[in-house]
Structure 1
Amino acid sequence: MYKVEEITDEKGSFLVLKKADNTSEARISLEEGGRLQELIFKDVFLIKEQPNFNYKDSYASSILFPFASRIQEGKYSFRDEEYQFNLNETGKNALHGLVYNQKFELITKEENTNFCSVTIAYKEINESVGFPYRYEIYATYALSENNLSLSLKIKNTDSKAYPFILGWHPYFLSDDLSKSCLRFKSDKKIEFNESLITKKVIDHKTEEEFKIEDKQLDDCFILNSDIIEFNTPNYQIEISTNKIENYLQLYTPKGFSMIAIEPMTGVSNSFNNKIGLQVLEPNKTYSITWNVKLKNN
């Protein structure tokens, strides 16, 4: 049996999806953008809060909307209008969207023999700085013994169309990151400037087995498939999506044995370079699902 626990304490409001024997569990922070704080499969932590790794700096497991990564100087134009986001990256750029620090509300939950799930939502009824549109974002987390899915649905509740991309920012642990590797198909990557703003797309044949070793990563790849594998000494997972056009950001924070494996539908500065950028018309919706599947342990 799988259950959903609702917890409120001095640290905030949380939802815990768990198997009855506690061997599989997912913990969601409602007050931090509906992010996934912890993920356990078969008693092994894949995602876990780390000391001295503050969420306000790491954006760990945050949902990224209406943009992921950076907007250069927070400026963009859309349909002949100029816009300016707040600059939340040391006053230089706008970083990681507008919902990562919003409070989500529980909409529905389901408890079952083989899985449990919750749907949470944030509804923007005001015009945000730099993004004067109303929208609703729904996140559905579903947990089973070997699988966690995150399904996002965006609804345009405004009278005007708006641009957007979506991303997710989870950090995965490894007992030994230097002996871990990724597998994904890509023959193009993004070339950044010194501020991690997209300069151009370049040809880059990625090796079949992408070994992390001692690399300090902050790289973005254009994927040719919808599957990413991550293999560590103590677990192997597969991250997949139901969309065809996908981008992958990889980041290794110094001093931590973990890696951010970030699936995205666009790239850094997408509101200006248009790479992956989509437009959502009034009363329309856009949906995407990302799955994390334990392959073996």
Structure 2
Amino acid sequence: MATSIRIHDSASGATALVAPELGFNCYAFSTKIHGKTVQIIDAPEDVLTGTHRPSGFGIPILFPFPNRIRDGKFTWDGNNYAVPLSPGKPNAIHGFCYDRPWRVIEKKKDTVTGQFQLSVDDPERRGCWPADFILDVRYRVAESRLECQFRITNPDKKPLPWGLGTHAYFRIPFGAASKPEQCLFSVPVSEQWELQDYLPTGRRLPVENKAPLRTGVRFGTQAFDDVFTGWATDGGTLRSSIIDEQAGIELTQICDSQYFREAVVFTPLGRNAVCMEPYTCVTDVINLEQRDVNAGLQVLAPGQVIQTWAAMQVSPVLA
């Protein structure tokens, strides 16, 4: 049975649960709005004891690449690499961190920090990537807000190519008396990547048939499994949102526009949930960049450290 760490903010009633053995997955976040507890994250009740797909619940952390690598193969600095394919899939999916245990390096009442180092926590896959890496993730709850701080370190003597994403499953509706179809979700994007078999061709297309996403799509009216870009910035941040009109509750997801740039939107089949996933790069980024496609690949020099962040805020909708 996996263990769970609880962090809590007494002032707002915000609480989050994190499972270190399950990829440091934050599988629950709740707070109080209008005097009632609101559950935000979708996860199975037996999350700690079941054998669920690691990327199918909570907030999976996707690193050093989000989404897919075509055939699990790529070339970097003249060397060929092979990343293990995901079970039953033709491609490698979602990196090395989401399906492995993490180490907890700090715990306080309202915060918890986990660390994953490729050579330490998944040594069998160290040879699958050009450089070692250390990823520190710090969750904090405060004022009906869940904050996530990312710290990426290159401890190697070689440059580290990387991409980062989160894959939150947002549970809807937010109110007990609401219905899923009363919820609107939006991401202000202007383009989407053309996909073939879930992999980008390298072409960006104007948002046309998915255009309502910019102002608000009513849940259940369109299915999504798409990669978007051209995300409008708001004072150095990128925003997406879900509004439960009946409950009068809004969830706003915010992230750092210095590094994040793509948004994957996914409506899992047969679930009252929607994923709005901020990425620093597009799917199959390390192969696209070899074709001179500006796909968002980042490279960290030996010894270099960077930090970025994402957060979600739950608020009453103001009339």
TM norm structure 1 = 0.88
The residue number in structure 2 matching 1:4 is: none
Whether contact under 8 Å (2:8, 2:141) holds in the other structure is yes
The one of 100, 118, 126 equivalent to 1:124 is: 118
Q: 1:186-218 CA deviation, whole Å, 9 max, x = no partner? A: 21111110x200112112263342313332210
The one of 233, 250, 253 equivalent to 1:239 is: 253
* Amino acid of the structure 1 residue aligned with 2:266: Y
Aligned residue runs from structure 1 range 173-252, under 5 A: 173-175=171-173, 176-193=179-196, 195-199=197-201, 200-204=203-207, 206-207=211-212, 208-211=214-217, 212-222=219-229, 223-225=231-233, 226-233=238-245, 234=247, 235-244=249-258, 245-252=260-267
The aligned length equals 282
Q: 1:101-160 CA deviation, whole Å, 9 max, x = no partner? A: 22112212334xxxx212111122246242142211100001013111111111011111
Whether contact under 8 Å (2:85, 2:93) holds in the other structure is yes
* Amino acid of the structure 2 residue aligned with 1:183: S
TM norm structure 2 = 0.82
Whether contact under 8 Å (2:76, 2:130) holds in the other structure is no
The residue number in structure 2 matching 1:88 is: 86
Higher helix share: 2
SS at match of 2:242: strand
- What RMSD, in angstroms, separates the aligned Cα atoms of the two structures? 2.1
Q: Please state how far the C-alpha of 1:49 moved relative to its aligned partner.
A: 1.8
Range with bigger deviation, 208-217 or 94-103:
208-217
The residue number in structure 1 matching 2:40 is: 46
Whether contact under 8 Å (2:3, 2:19) holds in the other structure is yes
Q: Please state how far the C-alpha of 1:19 moved relative to its aligned partner.
A: 3.3
Higher strand share: 1
Q: Please state how far the C-alpha of 1:14 moved relative to its aligned partner.
A: 1.8
Q: 1:67-111 CA deviation, whole Å, 9 max, x = no partner? A: 001011011111222211111152410000001122112212334
The residue number in structure 1 matching 2:162 is: 164
Range with bigger deviation, 128-137 or 274-283:
128-137
CA–CA distance in 1 between the matches of 2:85 and 2:288?
Answer: 19
CA–CA distance in 2 between the matches of 1:129 and 1:73?
Answer: 17
The residue number in structure 2 matching 1:147 is: 145
| 1:284 maps to 2:298 | no
Q: Please state how far the C-alpha of 1:23 moved relative to its aligned partner.
A: 3.4
Q: Please state how far the C-alpha of 1:272 moved relative to its aligned partner.
A: 0.9
CA–CA distance in 2 between the matches of 1:51 and 1:201?
Answer: 39
The residue number in structure 2 matching 1:31 is: 21
Q: Please state how far the C-alpha of 1:185 moved relative to its aligned partner.
A: 2.0
Whether contact under 8 Å (1:65, 1:99) holds in the other structure is yes
CA–CA distance in 2 between the matches of 1:57 and 1:63?
Answer: 9
Aligned residue runs from structure 1 range 109-120, under 5 A: 109-111=107-109, 116-120=110-114
Q: Please state how far the C-alpha of 1:183 moved relative to its aligned partner.
A: 2.9
Range with bigger deviation, 142-151 or 233-242:
233-242
Whether contact under 8 Å (1:243, 1:288) holds in the other structure is no
The residue number in structure 1 matching 2:76 is: 78
SS at match of 1:276: coil
Q: Please state how far the C-alpha of 1:286 moved relative to its aligned partner.
A: 2.2
Q: Please state how far the C-alpha of 1:254 moved relative to its aligned partner.
A: 1.1
Whether contact under 8 Å (2:166, 2:278) holds in the other structure is yes
Change (3 A) 1:25 1:97: same
Whether contact under 8 Å (1:89, 1:95) holds in the other structure is no
The residue number in structure 2 matching 1:6 is: none
Give the percent of matched residue pairs that are identical in Structure 1 and Structure 2: 21
CA–CA distance in 2 between the matches of 1:41 and 1:15?
Answer: 17
Range with bigger deviation, 14-23 or 166-175:
14-23
Q: Please state how far the C-alpha of 1:171 moved relative to its aligned partner.
A: 0.3
CA–CA distance in 2 between the matches of 1:19 and 1:55?
Answer: 30
Unaligned runs of 5+ in 1: 1-10
